[in-house]
Amino acid sequence: SSRVLWTLAVTQFGCGLFEEMSSSTVNHGIHTYDIVGRHIPTEKNPKPQLYKMRIFANDEVMAKSRFFYFLSKLRRVKRANGQVLSIKEVEEKNTSEVKNYGIWLRYNSRSNTTNMYKEFRDVSLNGAVGQLYNQMASLHRARFFSIQIIKTAVVANEEAKRPHIHQFMGEGVKFPLLHRIKRPALPKFRATFAARRPSTH
């Protein structure tokens, strides 16, 4: 039929042709939005096709801007002749459990285009994407608008590939307390000054 819902996986800083999954400090200010838009109906095409994009952006204004940017590249629909039918922020259902996220991406460097696969541990996809942008900027000098996220997924422990992810797996994982601060058991034992220097290691 002429009214087909196209699903295009598009992030704030890149686009792909695969549908992808998507606290200010945790996710680095990145939010996930589902946007549905289309070409303005005309006499020649009264029922234009619908296009759905999942976009990572800081706010709705930036999300709409990126929506029309990628739509103009992929389907020749721009802001002047297009319209947004709905925009909805996607919330993570479970943010109380740490998960392994795998991200497939490509980015444009100074010399060529490189494909990559990276893994991150976080409580939400927004946080994992924020880690991705920070790591790409620091290690590869990749600018935000040169990164294209193709696909994201939750990776099981047995399917993880990166060594820095494996070190957090297993039942006997222990974390040393490097900076212990002794505190009084009751408020009446608190003192502004102490005769001995505290030992925190």
- Tens digits of residue pLDDT in 120-144: 999 999 999 999 999 999 999 998 8
pLDDT confidence of 6, banded at 50, 70, 90? very low
- pTM for the model stands at 0.70
Q: At 198, phi and psi to the nearest 5? A: -70, 145
* pLDDT confidence of residue 14: 42
pLDDT the model gives residue 200: 74
d(CA 92, CA 76): 32
Radius of gyration of the chain (CA): 23
Q: How far apart are CA 135 and CA 130, in angstroms?
A: 9
Chain-centroid distance, C-alpha 75? 25
Percent of the chain with pLDDT over 70: 86
Pairing of strands 31-39, 50-57: antiparallel
C-alpha–C-alpha distance, residues 136 and 33, integer Å: 22
Contact status, residue 3 vs residue 52, Cβ threshold 8 Å = no
186 has a pLDDT exceeding 90: yes
pLDDT digits (tens, 9 = 90+) for 50-76: 999 988 888 899 899 989 988 998 898
